[in-house]
């Protein structure tokens, strides 16, 4: 049997291509990677009206067939049949923004010239009408020589017509229209002029209405109100992550405690029971507890992106980013890194300039990611007095804010230094299309959130849970003899490793328990909470609930040590996933090695300075 | 038709103009290509919508039916012909 026909979705950025892809495939999609490059491959399946299956490919958005980034190169190579491991598509759906015809038609002309069967999706048709633009799709089809279907992907309109049109294109024996217009092979300026002529011919009338986007922009891009608005947005986002995320996180934690209790009831005391409750359940629970906060953070990032606000934020931040040698584009990946550096680093693909991109990747781990939250929350809750320094301003919250600011300030200083040394070069520009504002669709948000949750849980199910079990083993073996005076922690493999390297950490105020917790926390920062819990739970042979843990820390740590520990986590690259993704994104071990080296050095120095300042201040 | 040519950087906000010419030699090759791809071309209608005033931040301009953000250095290489209404 022949494989299902392959149809590629191609178009300019901001044409609503991904929304159309979601509308056509629903949840039946698969995200993979193109071999050898770091470009995501989004594929999905859909059924034509006659029931035939079609494989749909969502290609990265690009402005032309002259690539200026790896993403754009993939798009060109797929539609020309040059991409390794991908067959030449049987048809192309060119997604075009209806209110931006002159620009998007230029690329459409280039694609039609390739000779593959083409259907044009005249997308965001409703927004064009809202802008007072009346179009004639038939006239456009006549001028282009290919079928044209008006669609509103986010509202699922025109989808059936598009499937209908596709069914004709992929019917075997159907003769593709091969236009022989000589301008199709012309240079970009000629194409542009031809595109403008066609757009003119397809436009019935154009009433100049005051556009929504311009009205909103006069606030969003205002030098004073725009910046204020951005801070309000960021403030709401972080408040939501901290407060709305807390209740479900607690519920999940109690769920796992209940599960561990159940196992303890039905199983006799044994090493296996310990593995299940203290290793597996505790480890997986510590991670899943975290999902609500990550999802809330991603919810905001997806809404900001889909609504068109993200680019406005980049516009406002470009000046500040330029002062450390980056562009406003770096703002988006860095903001995402507050949730997790992994998607943040992955989203640096939109930065064209290689050195800009590399610098952004190298500083992304300094953004306070949500994995640091459990660590900060635990240590701050245990060690910083819960007093108000001003009405509505608590000391604990202030310390938390300080840690966030420290990360950002550190990142800026590092960027400044890197841009003058390791990633020296001319500053690249900031040239970006600002899409129209639009209401994000619930379906697109849901699909986006689902794929993020999947990525996080896969990471949880593998790396973090695995590490927790390894830690449990390191702490449980070899088992201490019954008549020994040495505690299990001291006797275990982990205890012995910690004993060996502990002297190196003594100058920065770290005790053996901390060093021990840092070993498994190389996999992920949040593991250090579970690790401290395991260390103390095993040592004190008691429960590991948070108050007990806080009391234990309070007893065993000085304030100076706690502060040094917090500062360590601002800088230290304790995340295997970040290191792995950096390797993938920079194609080698050189840059991740550099990143790990400089971050550990920075963490050691800054924690040391903090410790000694605190000691001299009498804390 | 002796109108005074301005650069896009000097064009007053909300003053309609057309692109008179672009000093390609003052732009890097990728910058020039991206400008063309975004529709910057002689004769196209243009207007400055917003300026991030503080410290010389980027400008947002309307080109054709699109809004594009540019840094001032690039805007300085785009010559415009203000429309007298």
In sequence order, what are the beta bridge partners of A149?
Answer: A121
Q: Which of B57, B68, B74, B85 should one mutate to test binding to chain A, selecting the residue with the greatest count of A CBs within 10 A?
A: B57
- CA gap A499, A518 in Å, rounded: 13
Q: Which of A99, A429, A435, A438 should one mutate to test binding to chain B, selecting the residue with the greatest count of B CBs within 10 A?
A: A429
pLDDT range class, residue A505, cuts 50, 70, 90 = very high
Mapping DSSP to helix (H, G, I), strand (E, B) and coil, where does residue B61 land?
strand
pTM: 0.78
Q: Are A494 and A480 in contact (CB under 8 A)?
A: no
Give A 48-87 residues with CB within 8 A of chain B: 63-64, 66, 68
Does residue A176 register a pLDDT over 70? no
Q: Which of A253-267, A498-512, A542-556, B48-62 shows the lowest per-residue confidence on average (mean pLDDT)?
A: A542-556
Structure tokens at A371: 């994995």
Higher pLDDT, A8 or A128: A8
- Chain A positions touching B65 (Cβ under 8 A) are 99-103
pLDDT range class, residue A342, cuts 50, 70, 90 = confident
C-alpha to C-alpha distances, A316 to A177, A214, A353, B14, nearest whole angstrom: 46, 16, 20, 19
- CA gap A574, A453 in Å, rounded: 21
**CB proximity B69 to A under 8 Å:** yes
Nearest to A283 by CA among A247, A251, A253: A253
Higher pLDDT, A130 or A96: A96
- Chain A positions touching B33 (Cβ under 8 A) are 66, 68, 188
**CB proximity A99 to B under 8 Å:** yes
Where do the DSSP E strands lie in A111-199? 118-123, 133-135, 148-150
pLDDT at B43: 87
Q: Which of A170-179, A527-536, B51-60 shows the lowest per-residue confidence on average (mean pLDDT)?
A: A170-179
Does residue A1 register a pLDDT over 70? no
Q: Are A166 and A151 in contact (CB under 8 A)?
A: no
Q: What are phi and psi of A162, to 5 degrees?
A: -65, -40
Q: Could you check whether the bond before residue A367 is cis, i.e. omega within 30 degrees of 0?
A: no
User: What number of residues does chain B have?
Assistant: 85
* Average pLDDT of the segment spanning A437-441: 86
Q: Taking all residues of chain B, what is their mean pLDDT, rounded to a whole number?
A: 86
**CB proximity B65 to A under 8 Å:** yes
Structure tokens at A527: 């593991």
Structure tokens at A378: 């635990």
Mapping DSSP to helix (H, G, I), strand (E, B) and coil, where does residue A79 land?
helix
- Chain A positions touching B31 (Cβ under 8 A) are 429, 431
Give the residue on B whose Cα is nearest the Cα of A312: B69
- CA gap A607, A598 in Å, rounded: 14
Does residue A343 register a pLDDT over 60? yes
How buried is residue B25: exposed, middle or buried, by Cβ count under 10 Å (0-12/13-18/19+)? exposed
CB contact under 8 A, B37 and A188: yes
- Chain B positions touching A13 (Cβ under 8 A) are none
Give the residue on B whose Cα is nearest the Cα of A223: B52
**CB proximity A316 to B under 8 Å:** yes
- CA gap A451, A25 in Å, rounded: 14
Nearest to A357 by CA among A342, A346, A369: A346
CB pairs under 8 A between A and B: 104
pLDDT at A388: 80
How many CB atoms lie under 10 A from the CB of residue A70?
A: 15
* Tokens 């080296």 found at: A597
- CA gap A488, A493 in Å, rounded: 10
How many CB atoms lie under 10 A from the CB of residue A79?
A: 22
pLDDT at A541: 44
Residues A62-80: tens digit of each pLDDT: 988 888 777 888 999 999 8
* Average pLDDT of the segment spanning A472-497: 79
Q: Taking all residues of chain A, what is their mean pLDDT, rounded to a whole number?
A: 84
- CA gap A124, A135 in Å, rounded: 12
How many CB atoms lie under 10 A from the CB of residue A517?
A: 25
pLDDT range class, residue B66, cuts 50, 70, 90 = confident
Shortest distance between the Cα of B5 and any Cα of chain A, in A, equals 22
**CB proximity A217 to B under 8 Å:** yes
Q: What is the end-to-end Cα distance of chain B in Å, rounded?
A: 14
Nearest to A614 by CA among A552, A563, A553: A563
**ipTM of model:** 0.91
- Chain B positions touching A99 (Cβ under 8 A) are 65
- CA gap A552, B79 in Å, rounded: 69
Nearest to A615 by CA among A558, A552, A556, A557: A558
Q: What are phi and psi of B9, to 5 degrees?
A: -65, -35
Q: What are phi and psi of A440, to 5 degrees?
A: -65, 150
Mapping DSSP to helix (H, G, I), strand (E, B) and coil, where does residue A131 land?
coil
* Average pLDDT of the segment spanning A557-569: 94
- Chain B positions touching A66 (Cβ under 8 A) are 33
Structure tokens at A423: 């990633």
- CA gap A325, A319 in Å, rounded: 10
Shortest distance between the Cα of A222 and any Cα of chain B, in A, equals 7
**Which contiguous run of DSSP H or E holds residue A450?**
helix A442-459
Q: Are A133 and A98 in contact (CB under 8 A)?
A: yes
pLDDT range class, residue A314, cuts 50, 70, 90 = confident
In sequence order, what are the beta bridge partners of B80?
Answer: B6, B19
**CB proximity A186 to B under 8 Å:** no
pLDDT at B1: 46
- CA gap A151, A148 in Å, rounded: 10
Nearest to B64 among A103, A213, A429 (CB): A103
Nearest to B53 among A102, A223, A352 (CB): A223
Residues A120-146: tens digit of each pLDDT: 999 999 888 887 888 999 999 999 999
Q: How large a percentage of chain B has pLDDT more than 90? A: 34
Going by their DSSP bridges, the two strands A393-394 and A53-58 should be labelled as unpaired
pLDDT range class, residue A394, cuts 50, 70, 90 = confident
- Per DSSP, A157 falls in state B
Does residue A332 register a pLDDT over 90? no
Nearest to A22 by CA among A409, A442, A410, A398: A442
- CA gap A126, A124 in Å, rounded: 5
CB contact under 8 A, B68 and A430: no
On the CB side of A520, CA atoms within 13 Å amount to 31
CB contact under 8 A, A319 and B56: yes
Q: Which of A164-168, A239-243, A383-387, A518-522 shows the lowest per-residue confidence on average (mean pLDDT)?
A: A239-243
pLDDT at A540: 44
Q: Which of A108-112, A136-140, A547-551 shows the lowest per-residue confidence on average (mean pLDDT)?
A: A547-551
- CA gap A61, A15 in Å, rounded: 8
* Average pLDDT of the segment spanning A4-15: 91
In sequence order, what are the beta bridge partners of A94?
Answer: A10, A120
pLDDT at A154: 83
pLDDT at A243: 73
Q: Which of A309, A310, A434, A436 should one mutate to test binding to chain B, selecting the residue with the greatest count of B CBs within 10 A?
A: A434
- For chain B, what is the radius of gyration of the CA atoms? 12
User: What number of residues does chain A have?
Assistant: 619
CB contact under 8 A, A433 and B68: yes
What is the dihedral sign for C-alpha B21, B26, B32, B38?
A: negative
pLDDT range class, residue A551, cuts 50, 70, 90 = confident
Q: What are phi and psi of A40, to 5 degrees?
A: -75, 140
pLDDT range class, residue A190, cuts 50, 70, 90 = confident
pLDDT at A200: 87
In sequence order, what are the beta bridge partners of A8?
Answer: A57, A92
* Tokens 């993200």 found at: A310
pLDDT at A429: 72
Question: Please, where are the H alpha helices in A221-280?
Answer: 225-243, 246-266, 271-274
Question: Please, where are the H alpha helices in A275-394?
Answer: 282-288, 291-307, 309-323, 331-336, 341-346, 354-363, 372-383
Q: Are A418 and A410 in contact (CB under 8 A)?
A: no
Q: Are A148 and A199 in contact (CB under 8 A)?
A: no
How many CB atoms lie under 10 A from the CB of residue B56?
A: 14
Q: What are phi and psi of A29, to 5 degrees?
A: -135, 160
- Per DSSP, A152 falls in state B
pLDDT at A185: 57
pLDDT at A76: 92
Q: What are phi and psi of A152, to 5 degrees?
A: -130, 90
pLDDT range class, residue A41, cuts 50, 70, 90 = confident
């Amino acid at each position: 049997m022949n494989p299902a026909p392959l149809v590629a979705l191609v178009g300019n950025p901001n044409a609503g291509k991904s929304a159309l892809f979601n509308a056509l495939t629903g949840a039946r999609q698969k995200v993979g990677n193109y071999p050898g490059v770091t470009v995501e491959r989004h594929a999905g399946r859909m059924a034509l009206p006659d029931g035939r299956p079609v494989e749909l490919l969502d290609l990265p958005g690009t402005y032309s067939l002259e690539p200026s980034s790896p993403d754009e190169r993939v798009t060109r190579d797929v539609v020309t049949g040059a991409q390794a491991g991908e067959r030449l598509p049987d048809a192309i759906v060119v997604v075009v923004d209806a209110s931006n015809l002159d620009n998007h038609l230029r690329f459409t002309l280039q694609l039609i010239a390739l000779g593959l069967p083409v259907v044009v999706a005249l997308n965001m048709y409703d927004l064009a009408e809202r802008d007072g633009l009346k179009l004639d799709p038939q006239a456009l089809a006549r001028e282009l020589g290919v079928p044209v279907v008006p669609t509103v992907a986010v509202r699922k309109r025109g989808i059936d017509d598009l499937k209908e049109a596709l069914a004709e294109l992929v019917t075997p024996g159907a003769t593709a229209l091969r236009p022989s217009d000589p301008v199709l092979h012309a240079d970009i300026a000629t194409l542009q002029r031809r595109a403008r002529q066609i757009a003119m011919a397809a436009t019935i009338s154009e009433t100049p209405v005051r556009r929504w986007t311009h009205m909103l922009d006069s606030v969003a891009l205002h030098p004073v109100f725009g910046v204020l608005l951005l801070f309000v947005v960021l403030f709401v986002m972080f408040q939501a992550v901290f407060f709305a995320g807390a209740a479900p996180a607690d519920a999940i934690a109690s769920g796992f405690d209940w599960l561990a209790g159940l196992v303890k009831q039905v199983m006799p005391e044994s090493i296996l029971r310990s593995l299940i409750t203290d290793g597996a359940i505790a480890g997986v629970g510590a991670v899943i507890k975290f999902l609500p906060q990550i999802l809330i953070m991603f919810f905001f990032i997806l809404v900001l992106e889909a609504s068109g606000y993200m680019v406005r934020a980049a516009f406002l931040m470009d000046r500040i980013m330029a002062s450390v040698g980056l562009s406003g584009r770096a703002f988006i990946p860095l903001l995402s890194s507050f949730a997790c550096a992994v998607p943040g680093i992955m989203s640096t693909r939109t930065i064209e300039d290689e050195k800009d991109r590399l610098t952004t990747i190298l500083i992304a781990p300094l953004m306070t990611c949500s994995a640091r939250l459990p660590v900060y929350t635990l240590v701050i809750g245990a060690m910083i007095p819960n007093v108000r320094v001003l009405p509505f301003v608590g000391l604990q919250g202030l310390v938390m804010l300080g840690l966030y600011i420290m990360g950002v300030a550190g990142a800026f200083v590092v960027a400044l230094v890197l841009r003058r040394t390791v990633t020296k070069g001319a500053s690249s520009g900031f040239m970006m299309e600002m899409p129209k504002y639009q209401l994000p669709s619930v379906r697109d948000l849901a699909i986006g959130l689902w794929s993020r949750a999947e990525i996080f849980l896969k990471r949880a199910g593998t790396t973090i849970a695995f590490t927790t079990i390894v830690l449990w083993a390191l702490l449980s073996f070899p088992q201490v003899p019954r008549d020994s005076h040495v505690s299990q922690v001291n006797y275990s493999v982990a205890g012995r490793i910690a004993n060996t390297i502990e002297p190196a950490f003594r100058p920065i105020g770290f005790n053996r328990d901390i060093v021990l917790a840092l070993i498994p926390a190389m996999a992920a920062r949040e593991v250090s909470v579970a690790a401290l819990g395991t260390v103390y739970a095993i040592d004190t042979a008691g429960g590991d609930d948070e108050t007990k843990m806080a009391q234990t820390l309070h007893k065993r740590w000085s304030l100076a040590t706690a502060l040094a520990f917090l500062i360590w986590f601002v800088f230290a690259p304790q995340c295997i996933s970040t290191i792995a993704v950096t390797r993938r994104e920079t194609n080698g071990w050189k840059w991740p090695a550099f990143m790990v080296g400089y971050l550990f050095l920075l963490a050691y120095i800054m924690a040391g300075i903090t410790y000694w300042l605190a000691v001299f201040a009498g804390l | 038709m002796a109108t005074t040519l301005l650069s896009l950087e000097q064009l007053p906000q909300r003053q309609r103009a057309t692109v008179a010419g672009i000093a390609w030699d003052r732009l890097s090759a990728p910058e020039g290509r991206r400008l063309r791809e975004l529709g910057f071309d002689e004769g196209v209608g243009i207007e400055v919508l917003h300026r991030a005033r503080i410290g010389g931040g980027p400008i947002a301009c309307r080109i054709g039916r699109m809004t594009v953000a540019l840094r001032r250095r690039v805007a300085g290489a785009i010559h415009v012909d203000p429309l007298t209404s």
